[in-house]
Amino acid sequence: MTSVVDERATAAFELERAWQACVTAALLGTERQRLADFATAPGLPRLESDGGALGEARRLLHTASALALMRRAGRIPEGRRFPLPDVVEADDRPHCSPFVAHQLNLLSDGELEELLPEWLTLVEARGVRLPAELVPRLLDLAARGVIDRRCALCVAGPLGPWLARSNPAWRELVPRAFDSTAFGAADRGGRARMLADCRAQSKEAARERIAAEIAAEPAKERHRWLSILRDGLSLGDAPLLTRALDDRSAAVSALALDLLLSIPGSEPSRRLVDVARRWLRIEPIRSEAAQRALSSLRGALIPPTRLVVELPVAAPPYFDVDRSADPSSQSAKAWLSFGVARVPSEVWCAEIGVERVPLLEALFGSEHESLLFGAFVASALRFTDVPLADALVWTLPESELAAHDPAIVAMASDEALERTALRELSRFSGPMHAPPLVLRARLERRAPLGEEIVAAVSGPLGSTVETIQRPRGRELDALAEGLALRAPLAMLPALVAQWSRLRPAGNAWLRLIDRTLAILAFRAEMHKEVGR
């Protein structure tokens, strides 16, 4: 045994000596240092020179290549040892069928990516397990925002979070527990991001962390940290914001006031409501001529009431210190707009005794109509007031609705958008040149459409394909695709029959017809296969 060890040690020594000879020859040149006397080692092939300086140089390169390979052979790589990751938990769900797995490849690689959310919802409801090799693709789609991250992790099973934690591109998909040590070591931007993540998981934990450490931060960071509270703002945040009213930075104290005015029931909100609630009231319209005149402005018969505005005689509380207002605009109209935009709509409903739609309809014909509609839009956005957004979408004509903040349409409920779209579609007769704004907004959402709205859209859209020879822009293409993507499952056969009848006369619409039919056919097959 000892002789074997000695032989290996000798061979290693000779190998290293030969390597040093090659290095020396390379430094001094083959004319001054010959390889024949030094570059020898057990197992090293004998390479003869073909004469001349060039031959010796070529021999040096070949010898160095052979030695480099011999030195690396059998060597254990050196380096830091990293701990092995935890073993992924077992997944006891049944495997999905090969065709269902193939559908994921088809949808993510082709032109039908819009169907991925529906496919994912079906797979989640079915409770089946995807092949492990497809989980990374699922995580990529979730990281890009194509599919819902919660749903994607549910379908991926235990393997999803396990993989996401090891890839920086996927780490944001998995909620992370708040790490106090990492928070203390992070830079200012990293600390703000960690607080925002914490706020999304636990409003109370984020609020406590901000309250404990905000005083030691500079003004810019204090402002950024308070802004994080806007997500999920509630009455529980009021004590922290009340203390921030005395902040030494004017910008921070102004932000705290603005947030407090966005919390119904806070002290600043109650003070403002007590002053503003007397500004608006509704009275009946006794003159039939006046009622007809107001109805003509709306284009439909409105209730026989009108809104009476009592302009404020002094600036409302906080007007002079709120930085979103213009203190130089010391006028009754500016005070009115400021107050109405900061009073929750339920206050007006309780004070006046009407629901939101009659309240808004009573604005038509008022000399303050435009100002008050703008203030109510601002109020809906400030308080995330979905019922008020629904009422605004129903009440405002489309031209005026488009002029306001588009976020008001985005906030409205699916039911309100469909109800308003049905009213607008009832005015169509013949071809549809452009879909209503509320219908376009509804089709951008992933929730299934109701049968009534699908039936109302199908007729005018089919008439358009039959009578108009040239497609006009992309709006009708998006309408047809949205209809095919969102129609209820029970209506798919009827839609396939309708679009199949349109195909012979399609002409310039042929590409749209074929794509619509492909979406409908794939959806039907998808529900059939996943449901097995």
Residue 87's pLDDT is 86
With residue 518 as reference, give the H or E element that holds it. helix 510-530
The two structure tokens encoding residue 471: 């497609």
Residue 74's pLDDT is 62
312-325 pLDDT, tens digit per residue, is 988 898 887 765 55
Least confident of 248-257, 293-302, 490-499: 293-302
Give the mean pLDDT of the chain.
84
For 365-418, the three-class secondary structure string (H helix, E strand, C coil) is CCCCHHHHHHHHHHHHHHHCCHHHHHHHHHHCCHHHHHHCCCHHHHHCCHHHHH
The two structure tokens encoding residue 168: 């920086």
474 pLDDT above the threshold of 80: no
Please compute the mean of the pLDDT values over residues 43-47 and round it to a whole number.
64
Please compute the mean of the pLDDT values over residues 146-163 and round it to a whole number.
92
The larger pLDDT score, comparing residue 523 to residue 404, is at 523
Residue 301's pLDDT is 47
Closest C-alpha to 318, from 300, 301, 335: 335
Please compute the mean of the pLDDT values over residues 496-500 and round it to a whole number.
90
Residue 62's pLDDT is 82
The proportion of the chain whose per-residue pLDDT surpasses 90, expressed as a percent, equals 42
Q: What share of the chain is helix, strand, coil (3-state, %, to 5)?
A: 65, 0, 35
Residue 422's pLDDT is 92
Distances (CA, A) of 505 to 284, 499, 509: 55, 10, 9
As a whole number of angstroms, the distance between CA 532 and CA 519 comes to 20
Residue 269's pLDDT is 94
Cβ-defined contacts of 479-484 (< 8 Å, 24+): 479/432, 479/435, 479/439, 479/440, 479/443, 480/512, 480/516, 481/114, 481/515, 481/516, 481/519, 482/443, 482/444, 483/443, 483/449, 483/454, 483/457, 483/458, 483/516, 484/516, 484/519, 484/520, 484/523
1 pLDDT above the threshold of 80: no
Residue 241's pLDDT is 95
Closest C-alpha to 156, from 173, 168, 176: 173
The proportion of the chain whose per-residue pLDDT surpasses 70, expressed as a percent, equals 84
As a whole number of angstroms, the distance between CA 56 and CA 31 comes to 8
Residue 367's pLDDT is 87
Q: Is 29 left (phi over 0), alpha (psi -120 to 50) or beta?
A: left
Distances (CA, A) of 254 to 214, 242, 250: 16, 11, 6
Residue 184's pLDDT is 83
Please compute the mean of the pLDDT values over residues 203-231 and round it to a whole number.
92
The larger pLDDT score, comparing residue 454 to residue 300, is at 454
Least confident of 157-166, 257-266, 297-306: 297-306
Least confident of 11-20, 190-199, 257-266: 11-20
**DSSP per position, 318-333:** TTTT-TTS-TT--SHH
Residue 12's pLDDT is 74
Q: How confident is the model at residue 360 (pLDDT cuts 50, 70, 90)?
A: very high
As a whole number of angstroms, the distance between CA 141 and CA 108 comes to 8
Would strands 280-284 and 305-309 be described as parallel, antiparallel, or unpaired?
antiparallel
Residue 282's pLDDT is 84
As a whole number of angstroms, the distance between CA 272 and CA 341 comes to 11
Please compute the mean of the pLDDT values over residues 367-382 and round it to a whole number.
93
As a whole number of angstroms, the distance between CA 442 and CA 448 comes to 10
As a whole number of angstroms, the distance between CA 500 and CA 507 comes to 13
Q: Do 345 and 225 meet the contact criterion of CB atoms below 8 Å apart?
A: no
Least confident of 34-43, 182-191, 342-351: 34-43
With residue 281 as reference, give the H or E element that holds it. strand 280-284
CA angle, 378 then 202 then 160, to 5°: 110
Inter-helix orientation angle 267-276/250-260, to 10°: 60
Q: What is the pTM of this model?
A: 0.76
CA angle, 308 then 309 then 314, to 5°: 160
Please compute the mean of the pLDDT values over residues 492-497 and round it to a whole number.
92
Residue 436's pLDDT is 86
36 pLDDT above the threshold of 70: no
470 pLDDT above the threshold of 50: yes
455-466 pLDDT, tens digit per residue, is 999 888 888 887
Q: How many CB atoms lie within 10 A of CB 13?
A: 11
